[in-house]
Structure 1
Amino acid sequence: MQEEIFVGIDLGTTFCCCHFFNTQTNKYECINYLNGNSTIPSTVDFFTQPVSVGIPKPTAICEVKRFIGKKFDDEQVQEDINKNYFPYQIVKAEDGYCLVVVDYPDKEEERVEPEVVSAIVLKAIKIEIQRRLNIKDNISLRAVVTVPAYFDDSQKDRTKKAVLMAGFSLIRLLAEPSAAAYAYGLESTKDQMYLAFDLGGGTLDVTILEKKGEEFKFRATGGDVHLGGLDFDMNFMELVISKMKEVDEKKARRFILKGSDSRSQKKMKKQRRYRLRKEVEKAKIELSANSYCELDLSELVDEDEFIISIDRSEFEECNKKE
């Protein structure tokens, strides 16, 4: 009987995916989740009992990869907080790192480390692997987990902690550009330079790799830790809110956070903004194929009909780098 299974996990900012090595076929196969998708959203909703994973909701904790192993006073962390990107609160731990404020329906809030949230997502992936392969906990799941090339030691250490908390045996953390190179079969090509361009949900990574034999060496790494699908969505959402103001300023104010807002008002507005962001994301995808789209926001603003029209040039303009 096989005593260990080898798996590769892409622990992404917005989505995760996993492949395992099938000893019957000598091939890697993708783990599909109950909804049939090959990816699972990197979200955890503590407000439901039991805790739900992979179901985006206004009450869910999401995109914690931006905070894992990061100091609260870090400039990029403060930028995210000030832009009100997330429907939850980030606070400062005694050691200076970030903590996520978790709300429960029937008890007081709790403060948890971002890696705890990641561990819960990884645990859900582990359970799905066991279900798919019909194996028990006595079978070791040995994992290679990807991380951005720019992750520092603190971010890597806390990612390792999440992997171990989820019950995997960690073989190694692998830089995402290297993982991409192996996935495309570049280890069997001739020795030369390659450029890996990875525009994800949370970050942009651009890496030049040099292949020598079956090894890849980083020659240069760059990118932008605040340039990903999330940032496109947030810029787009602010454009939509400005268009809402032109139609009905009172309704638009439901989505605009102010310093004078009470804690309950901020919480409600952040959840409204999350729902709006999901609608905006759909429109962004539609604009990939069409030059024009309409956002039906009637349900969000409690109207029989409230439609905002957007064309692709407006989306592109609001996402130009200053």
Structure 2
Amino acid sequence: MGEIVFHVPELWLGAAPEKMPRFYRRLSEGLAARGIAQTWAPMDRATLTDRIASDSAFHILNHARHPHPRVLTAGIAYIYPYWHLDPLGIRAFSTITDSVFRPAEVDGDSAQAFFRRLRQRMVGARQSRYPQQQAVEPVPEGSIAVFLQTEGQRSVEETLWLDRWTMLDTCLAAADGRPVVVKPHPRDRDPDTGSGLAARLAAHPNLHLSTANIHDILATADRVVTINSAVGIEALLHRKPVILCGRADFHHICTNARDPQALRAALRATPPHRAFARYIAWYFGTQCLDAGAKDLTDRVLDRLAARGRPL
């Protein structure tokens, strides 16, 4: 029948079952029920190549890109409980990037229902990928909302077209008096971020630094600008036009700004009509895996079979 080897953080192994993400718990149970052998190993990127070459098993890696015919990478796809399981990687590196979104092929009624459920869970509950303050903080109306990222991360450095300061400075230059709201990444501890923002706040009276709940900023924004942050796809739940300054796998209904000229033009243009509900249903419902779905194991086995490894 073949075997699947899961490579996960060592601290997950031997821990209480509830410490393991639901995606892995349910998949493990489903594979066991089908009599498919599975092995769990601590993630060791230094030895991955040798480990994979030493057997004929299929390997599922948690957050580790390692293109190989017998490898898939798993990771949360921005919004829980949706997961990537992809031959190339997760998020900006996933094969969804090159997939074609055809709105006419997505059922409108079911897409609206899917969109409403996800929007209620995220926007209605004011929840995001990272913890958000629940107190409502005033945010200027009609702003260009700019969300920064921690560019020291490899995944950001490898995918950006504009760095954070070029992105923000271009937005300020193109704002034409409109408020520009900037929110740093919640995990950014770089002192250069603070000094860079302080200098720009002193020079631009229309620039506003905000630590408000993401959904308060998105609700009042006119445009959303980011490199490829998860907030970009959350902005789609608010039906807001998104401008990306880096490679992302949810680019299909966003405007891609590969240089400052393109960003300026996008900020001054009338946003095109977008099929927000159909896109969200297509992206999460068909391109990703729902950790709580009854057919989770079947869909995972289908992806293995597509790689030439039917189990």
Q: What TM-score, normalized by structure 2, do the two folds share?
A: 0.26
Bigger relative contact order (CA 8 A; separation at least 6):
2
Bigger fraction of residues in helix? 2
Q: What TM-score, normalized by structure 1, do the two folds share?
A: 0.25
Bigger fraction of residues in strand? 1
